[in-house]
Chains A and B, each alone.
Chain A
Amino acid sequence: MTVQQQPNSFRTGPDERGHFGIYGGRFVAETLMPLILDLEKAYNQAKADPAFQKEMDSYLSHYVGRPSPLYFAERLTKKFGGAKIYFKREDLNHTGAHKVNNVTGQIMLAQRMGKKRIIAETGAGMHGVATATLCAKFGLPCIVYMGAVDVERQQPNVLRMKMLGAEVRAVTSGSSTLKDAMNEALRDWVTNVSDTFYCIGTVAGPHPYPAMVRDFQCIIGNETRAQMQQLEGRLPDSLIACIGGGSNAMGLFHPFLDDRSVEIYGVEAAGHGIPSGQHAASVTGGRPGVLHGNRTYLLMDDDGQITEAHSISAGLDYPGIGPEHSWLNDMGRVKFLSATDDEAVAAFQLCSQLEGIIPALEPAHALARVFDLAPKLPKDHLMVVNMSGRGDKDLASVQAWLETHKK
């Protein structure tokens, strides 16, 4: 797509109908429309209510453990000899990833709306674990839809959800991964509209989800701003984060979108490589279409049928991306890169060995690109990578990869 004329502010979207340029919108069955309109109203009221924000801040500091540190990765910086590399430590949150920021907000909203039952979809299981956790805390029944393939490759998270009292429903339709879990969650919602709240895990889906999830995740970028000011006395020069649906990335990016001096990079999963067709890079290898309630970049064939995504990381294995990212791509504000499975595993190992931090496979994709950007940059360049989650859940996947790649 050609870069269009840039607006005065990148932070004013979406419009009242939920559009970011041509992206976003509300493409759902009529049964769900009244609920989505109710949700929008309830969210707008909550957003304007200082008591809601105060309560949320309290949970975020005392339950989630915020603010998360901004950590200077000294050994990696030294190894590459260029930009100063900082990690925003979302892996240190309760439940081990950024997902909990958004879930805390949505479950509080569900409470406010008087909903009695929570459903969610999950890929790697991090959003499912976060949802199961908050449901346990608030005493709400929780059902998590998860692709059967992901249930298999993310066993530790399946066990965690069960321990927390959630019911995990393995989805065997379609490709048995995240997109199919989302279809099943939508079917559940259509069937149980009166008492059920659908807690979506990323900045996608029908309006107001992309904007609401973004707002809840903006705490990542807001903290980064303040922390970098404190540590270095100025804004960072570049930001980089992995993108599946893109909620961790949007949370880091959004507060900086109007700071034109800050370069912003999103890293998609290139799987076996873009030319192989086996990847999950919706922007790099897809085109605009309509799925799961919004218009956005999608992987599909010539007939408009959605194709299966592939990534070693279950959290990035989705054939779409949040609509605001699609718009930021077309506007040229965020630059989209990609990293293959092999590159992600190499970055996973290097980060573990040099920093004593085992990253999730998702942010390992971002790290892979950090490792080739950083050496080319001056020593005073400040680069922040979103360490969106920890890698305990991925040990089996990485082990299996290493065994098949033994020489």
Chain B
Amino acid sequence: MTTRIEKRFADLKSEGRAALVTFVMSGDPDYETSMAIIKALPKAGADVIELGMPFTDPMADGPSIQAAGVRALKAGQTLKKTLQMVRDFRKDEAATPIVLMGYYNPIYIYGVDKFLVDAKEAGVDGLIVVDLPPEEDEELCLPALKAGLNFIRLATPTTDDKRLPAVLNNTSGFVYYVSITGITGSAAPDATKVSAAVQRIKKHTKLPVAVGFGVKNAESARAIAAGADGVVVGSALIDALRKTLEADGKGGPATVKAVTDLVADIARGVRAAGTVAAE
């Protein structure tokens, strides 16, 4: 069976361009604004939507995403509501894949089996759970694959050739290459090094490789997209969102526009890379 994620990457490959994967935190800054952003993302140029599941202790995230999680939790976001957002999104959008990204504890407390049933039913396509390395595959990865969801793993510069097979084993949908050793939203990656790393990973897998961490605008997206199957942008979108917030932390139409404008700009960069590569 081909999943929505696999189909999307295959389609883009035949178009000759990389995928734009956009990360936003579900429920940030509030349920309504967040819902409006997610609904507007495909039209703005997002090929895959990564939806953050907020957590109180995001150990591997930088200040931007951490603050987004705090805003969402303050506004009352829960894992149940995140699944509801996916359900609502699916009412009028069937093609764009949705990947939930977060930490394990809220899923563990929700109940792994119940979560997988509910996520699948809501229209979730894949999961990225930051604190579940291959050593803990029995927790969620294997049950998720069995339930028909993709389990996307992060590979990093510290993942050497010896460890890569362990990381890639049971990974599906795509591989998320974290271009720097560090937290989200930190230093910009070196496009040449990233391209070399992607080639190294591709020696071990047929899966598409998307690159994240440090992409901020059309130019950096173009540079990364030239050497990868996908570009992930997250902290930059959240920074754009934050700048529009009122003193009371509420979002509005300006918030949605700020995010979608930046997505459209970055999408131009991703598409430009594809055109160059095709020539």
Residues of A within 8 A of B (CB): 17, 25-35, 173-174, 179-180, 183, 186-187, 190-194, 289-293, 298, 300, 302-307
Contact = CB atoms under 8 A, between A and B. Distances in A.
B155 to A, nearest CB: 7
B56 interface: yes
Nearest to B107: A304
> Could you say which of A186, A187, A293 has the most chain B C-beta atoms within 10 Å of its C-beta?
A187
B101 to A, nearest CB: 12
Contacts of B107: 304
B183 interface: yes
Interface string B32-70: 000000000000000000000001111111110010000
Contacts, number: 116
Nearest to A307: B56
A30 B155 contact: yes
A306 B159 CA distance: 30
A289 B178 contact: no
B144 to A, nearest CB: 16
Nearest to B76: A303
A31 B135 contact: no
Interface in B118-164: 130-133, 135-136, 153-160, 163
Contacts of A289: 105, 108-109
Contact of A306 (B78, B104, B105, B157): B105
A31 B136 contact: no
B238 interface: no
Interface of B: 55-63, 66, 73, 78-80, 103-110, 130-133, 135-136, 153-160, 163, 167, 178, 181-183, 186
A289 B155 CA distance: 25
> Could you say which of A179, A303, A306 has the most chain B C-beta atoms within 10 Å of its C-beta?
A303
27 contacts: A27-B104, A27-B131, A28-B59, A29-B59, A29-B130, A29-B156, A30-B153, A30-B154, A30-B155, A30-B178, A31-B60, A31-B154, A32-B158, A33-B133, A33-B135, A190-B60, A192-B181, A193-B181, A289-B108, A290-B108, A291-B57, A300-B109, A303-B78, A305-B55, A305-B73, A305-B106, A307-B56
Contact of A304 (B59, B105, B153, B156): B105
A290 B158 contact: no
Given A17-B135, A304-B79, 5 more contacts: A29-B60, A29-B133, A34-B163, A304-B106, A306-B105
Given A28-B131, A303-B109, A292 B59 contact: yes
A25 B156 CA distance: 21
A305 B56 contact: yes
Contacts of A30: 133, 153-156, 158-159, 167, 178
Given A26-B135, A187-B183, A190-B183, A31 B156 contact: yes
Nearest to A191: B182
A34 B160 contact: yes
A187 B60 contact: yes
Nearest to B66: A173
A270 B161 CA distance: 49
Contacts of A186: 59-60
Contacts of A303: 78-80, 106, 109-110
A134 to B, nearest CB: 25
> Could you say which of B60, B131, B182 has the most chain A C-beta atoms within 10 Å of its C-beta?
B131
Q: Which 10 A-B pairs have the closest CB atoms?
A: A304-B109, A304-B106, A191-B182, A29-B60, A27-B131, A303-B78, A31-B156, A304-B105, A186-B59, A306-B56
A179 B55 CA distance: 13
A31 B131 contact: no
A300 B178 contact: no
Given A190-B181, A304-B107, A27 B55 contact: no
A173 B107 CA distance: 23
A35 B182 contact: no
B73 A27 contact: no
B136 to A, nearest CB: 6
B215 to A, nearest CB: 18
A300 B80 CA distance: 16
Given A191-B183, A302-B109, A174 B57 contact: yes
B59 A31 contact: no
A304 B158 contact: no
Contacts of B103: 290
Nearest to B182: A191
A191 B181 contact: yes
A34 B158 CA distance: 7
Nearest to A30: B154
Contact of B131 (A192, A193, A293, A304): A293
A26 B182 CA distance: 19
A191 B182 CA distance: 4
B111 to A, nearest CB: 10
A300 B107 CA distance: 13
A29 B109 contact: no
A68 B105 CA distance: 40
A94 B82 CA distance: 51
Contacts of B78: 303
B71 to A, nearest CB: 13
B197 to A, nearest CB: 13
A289 B181 CA distance: 27
Contacts of A179: 57
B178 A174 contact: no
A18 B99 CA distance: 30
Contact of B59 (A17, A187, A305): A187
Contacts of A174: 56-57
